[in-house]
């Protein structure tokens, strides 16, 4: 699949690479597995010579042996003696960068914490001594968000404050996903676009898999997910189990309940029979897998709060695959597909709302966008978008079928909100599948 939609990131990396030709620069690149970090860096270095180290889980001596081989092949320099510690390899490359500009990419950088945690302080010591007289662009990539955050944002860690830039790689936007279908499946339906958005979540690896298998209509996408040896079957576990460590069962239980519409702390605690406040805080702030949702204009400390899983695919995985892992294990994919299709109209509705919320945000027309509800989840409004400069507000009801929309009902839900927006021009609208 052709490379798409990373112009801003490419521009930033090019700017830092140029600056590193005067003095060394450190860039941290973070993003969940499958998000395309390696492909992005590869594209940014097209036509240049650079070193790419992947930190696999093996003895430091074996890693260094592999890295030395790459140095000899890529840079064409002789390395005398055995370098068995990464400190020695890094020192050699910093010495090289005194004479020649060099880009060094270290992927899965957080794995050094398992191999030899002293590597972080050794890099810091060498970097601090030599960065001003060398010309290296050091790109440090990681996919375990909590570990990368600790390494670079915890003031007690040696590499705290050393990064010149931090780049957080996000999924493809709804505009980019539509572009992919325009390119590879021009006769797609709105339902296909919704399924593509919902099942990939904009994660490039999933997008690429569907494109490569020509699985770009709803049935074909589900078939690609539901078959023996499918990458998708264990994907939630593969993406998250290292983040959560020994307590993954509790985190998985919370995420499974969130995916099944148990979105308040009280609901989840009543089922699990335990206090989950700390787990929710870590899922939100440390792991960045869920987000806290409050009604638009609610005070930050308000009690009206619900939680949702940010990642579309993980939401789907916990709702259907993890919840029905017995059927997955015995390979009863026909049962799973029937179950998914039975719940599809209701389940996909929340992603239709999310799709239009993202689309409105990308328009640049609004200063504030959110959902709204009153105490007891009454008078729920799917989307409220406000432009405070132009003093206008848009209230949206999202329906799969526009024939089910009632403007009178939507208007009746907005009375309390309009008291806060006196003098604003008000528009009411229905957005449905046909508006995608």
DSSP string, 248-312: HHHHHHHHHHHHTT--SHHHHHHHHTS--HHHHHIIIIIS--EEEE--TT--TT-S--EEEES-H
Decide if 221 is inside a domain.
Answer: no
Domain tally, the chain: 3
Range of the domain at 252: 235-330
Decide if 22 is inside a domain.
Answer: yes
Residues 94 and 16 in one domain: yes
Residues 28 and 161 in one domain: yes
Decide if 222 is inside a domain.
Answer: no
Cα distances from 80 to residues 52, 62, 68, in angstroms, run 21, 17, 10
Residues 14 and 152 in one domain: yes
Per-residue pLDDT, 45? 92
Residues 30 and 151 in one domain: yes
**Which stretches of the chain score pLDDT less than 50?**
none
Decide if 397 is inside a domain.
Answer: yes
Residues 20 and 141 in one domain: yes
Residues 326 and 372 in one domain: no
Decide if 216 is inside a domain.
Answer: no
User: Which element (helix H / strand E) includes 238?
Assistant: helix 235-244
Residues 325 and 373 in one domain: no
Decide if 219 is inside a domain.
Answer: no
Burial string for 358-373 (b: 16+ CB within 10 Å, else e) reads bbbeeeeebeebbbbb
Residues 26 and 163 in one domain: yes
Residues 51 and 139 in one domain: yes
User: Nearest CA to 310 among 31, 28, 36, 1?
Assistant: 31
For 245, residues 6+ apart whose C-beta sits below 8 A from its C-beta are: none
Decide if 274 is inside a domain.
Answer: yes
Q: Which of these three, 168, 192, 222, is where a domain ends?
A: 168
Q: Which of these three, 168, 191, 222, is where a domain ends?
A: 168
Q: Which of these three, 168, 184, 212, is where a domain ends?
A: 168
Distance of alpha carbon 307 from alpha carbon 284, whole angstroms: 9
Per-residue pLDDT, 65? 95
Residues 287 and 373 in one domain: no
Residues 147 and 17 in one domain: yes
Per-residue pLDDT, 301? 75
Alpha carbon of residue 421 to chain centroid: 34
Residues 14 and 123 in one domain: yes
Decide if 106 is inside a domain.
Answer: yes
pLDDT in tens, 100-119: 999 999 999 999 999 999 99
CATH number at residue 102: 3.40.50.300
pLDDT in tens, 290-333: 999 999 988 877 788 999 999 999 999 999 999 999 999 999 99
For 90, residues 6+ apart whose C-beta sits below 8 A from its C-beta are: 122, 123, 126
Judge whether 274 and 253 are in contact, CB under 8 Å: no
Distance of alpha carbon 388 from alpha carbon 393, whole angstroms: 8
CATH number at residue 257: 1.10.10
Q: Is the pTM of this model over 0.75?
A: yes
């Amino acid at each position: 699949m052709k490379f798409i939609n990373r112009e801003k990131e490419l521009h930033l990396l090019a700017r830092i690479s140029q600056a590193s030709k005067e003095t060394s620069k450190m860039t941290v690149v973070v993003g969940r597995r499958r998000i395309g970090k390696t492909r992005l860096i590869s594209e940014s270095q097209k036509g240049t010579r650079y070193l790419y180290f992947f930190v696999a889980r093996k003895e430091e001596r074996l890693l260094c042996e592999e890295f030395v081989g790459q140095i000899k092949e890529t840079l064409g320099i002789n390395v005398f003696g055995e370098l068995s510690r990464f400190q020695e390899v890094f020192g050699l490359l910093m010495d090289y960068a005194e004479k020649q500009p060099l880009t060094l990419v270290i992927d899965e950088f957080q794995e050094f914490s398992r191999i030899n945690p002293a590597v972080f302080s050794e890099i810091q010591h060498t970097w601090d001594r030599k960065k001003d007289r060398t010309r290296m662009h050091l790109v440090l990539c990681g996919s375990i968000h909590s570990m990368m955050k600790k390494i670079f944002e915890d003031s007690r860690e040696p590499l705290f404050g050393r990064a010149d830039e931090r780049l957080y790689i996000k999924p493809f936007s709804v505009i980019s996903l539509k572009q992919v279908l325009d390119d590879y499946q021009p006769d797609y339906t709105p339902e296909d676009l919704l399924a593509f958005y919902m099942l990939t979540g904009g994660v490039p690896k999933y997008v690429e898999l569907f494109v490569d298998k020509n699985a770009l209509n709803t049935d074909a996408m589900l078939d690609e997910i539901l078959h023996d040896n499918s990458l998708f079957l264990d994907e939630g576990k593969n993406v998250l189990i290292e983040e959560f460590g020994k307590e993954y069962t509790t985190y998985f239980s919370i995420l499974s309940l969130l995916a099944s519409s148990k979105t308040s702390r009280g609901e989840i605690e009543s089922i699990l029979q335990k206090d989950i406040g700390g787990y929710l805080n870590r899922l939100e702030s440390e792991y960045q897998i869920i987000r806290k949702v409050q009604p638009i204009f609610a005070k930050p400390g308000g009690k009206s709060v619900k939680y949702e899983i940010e990642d579309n695919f993980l939401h789907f995985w916990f709702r259907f695959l993890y919840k029905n892992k017995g059927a997955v294990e015995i390979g009863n994919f026909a049962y799973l597909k029937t179950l998914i299709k039975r719940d599809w109209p209701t389940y996909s509705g929340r992603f239709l709302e999310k799709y239009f919320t993202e689309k409105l945000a990308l328009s640049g027309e609004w200063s504030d966008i959110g959902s709204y509800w009153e105490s007891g989840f009454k008078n729920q409004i799917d989307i409220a978008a406000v432009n405070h400069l132009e003093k206008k507000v848009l209230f949206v009801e999202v329906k799969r079928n526009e024939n089910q929309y009632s403007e009178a009902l939507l208007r009746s839900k907005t009375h309390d909100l309009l008291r806060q927006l006196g003098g604003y021009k008000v528009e009411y609208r229905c957005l449905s599948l046909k508006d995608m």
